Chain A
């Protein structure tokens, strides 16, 4: 037992209970959880993300500080590694794409081990990379899939994505693979933090809270899609969400309990986003160790906020004091 995960777990449980029972209790609360909180959450998200990004934009990045994982471009007969240590803008673009789309840094993750005869070794460890990859991509697909609730008519491309996601055609309503993958990967990432002692040691409430929220979001979504007695009327749900995005908020009949839990948790995640580690969404684009070219040897980098320093050269000094220097018998360069 550890307060770092017990506390956020209790918070998410309380959020579940509050939103479930209050929205069941009175229509006014449905309006609160279905309209007021989502609007406030999206406003907080937009304002908060803007603030954080512009704050980062102010940071000085005068020099190149790449963390290199390959040979820098130097002498013509030494082969440079143009994507791990790029000296061109194109190389940087490729490195950024690899980082953002397939998490290349995580792919390099290694596990340190000391054998019994005190030999140290680093071993390949891909599970974190795999879990993170599944988690992020499943989340993206789930998110994009949800656009069907926010667009009318629904774009063709979205239907294609949906049919791909549900191509196994098991159960009715059809099982969406991304939802299951999301829940499984988030659960794995949580269990990893619990069971690996080293990871548990460095995990804080701010690491567990978003995980619990996302597990809660995925679980509530799965419950109201697949479980007969918890199901909601999906057309009513769309009427509500369409009301939100067309700025004509309504609370139709047929949405209750678990739906408001889902919406409340999503709102909480959105509002929490700018103030948490989730800002790595924007931060990854601004990582100087990833997005700067490694041309520290090719180009001279002058500190851009160097102000012109007023200098007084020896020649000028001698001009000022020549006569006194000669009087005192000091050597001078110009007579």
Chain B
């Protein structure tokens, strides 16, 4: 009977929670980050997979590489355009895409993905940190 004010209050709180993203972002545009390509990558022209494929499925390829390299000992990856690559994150991927912060992290941060690649792998650029 006289609980209307509590029900209205509850509804207001509920919608505030439901519409959290609207007031959290305050209408600020958040486009996806540009993909940064190093000069080496631009010079190479092609990746180990076609562009659309590597964008969507790179994590599966890395997963596959881990298994084929460390379990089956296959150290050659024949790509879609018959080029041969050494299947390795640090050597091949980061060989071209030299800057992890610019190339990997931008999109990963945007999508809030924290891959556990870096639990084991070292970003070659970061190796200098210890020598200082």
Contact = CB atoms under 8 A, between A and B. Distances in A.
Interface of A: 45-46, 49-50, 53-54, 56-57, 60-62, 147-154, 158-159, 162-163, 169, 171-174, 228, 231-236, 238-239, 242, 245-248, 250, 252, 254, 282, 285-286, 304-305
Interface stretch (B3-11, B76-84, B124-132): B3-11
B36 interface: no
A148 B32 CA distance: 13
Given A53-B7, A151-B24, A246-B25, A62 B32 contact: no
A270 to B, nearest CB: 10
Nearest to B63: A172
22 contacts: A45-B18, A50-B11, A53-B11, A54-B7, A54-B8, A57-B8, A148-B111, A150-B20, A150-B25, A151-B21, A159-B114, A169-B116, A172-B60, A228-B60, A232-B56, A233-B56, A234-B113, A239-B30, A239-B32, A242-B29, A247-B22, A286-B7
B20 to A, nearest CB: 7
A242 B22 CA distance: 9
A228 B112 CA distance: 20
Interface in B24-40: 24-25, 27-33
Given A147-B20, A172-B59, A238-B32, A245 B25 contact: yes
B62 interface: yes
Contacts of B32: 235-236, 238-239, 252
| Secondary structure dominating the interface of B | helix
Contacts of B30: 152, 238-239, 242, 246
A173 B113 contact: yes
A224 B45 CA distance: 28
A268 B25 CA distance: 25
Contact of A254 (B2, B4, B55, B59): B55
B1 A235 contact: no
Given A53-B10, A152-B30, A173-B59, 7 more contacts: A150-B20, A151-B21, A171-B63, A172-B59, A228-B57, A242-B25, A254-B56
B86 interface: no
Contacts of B7: 53-54, 56-57, 286
B1 A152 contact: no
The 10 closest A-B pairs by CB, nearest first: A150-B21, A152-B30, A148-B112, A245-B21, A154-B112, A172-B63, A235-B32, A172-B59, A239-B32, A242-B30
Contacts of B116: 169, 174
Contacts of B25: 150-152, 242, 245-246
A150 B113 CA distance: 14
Contacts of A148: 111-112
Contacts of A235: 32-33, 107, 110-111
B73 interface: no
Contacts of A149: 111
Nearest to A57: B7
B55 A246 contact: no
Contacts of A62: 1
Contacts of A285: 10
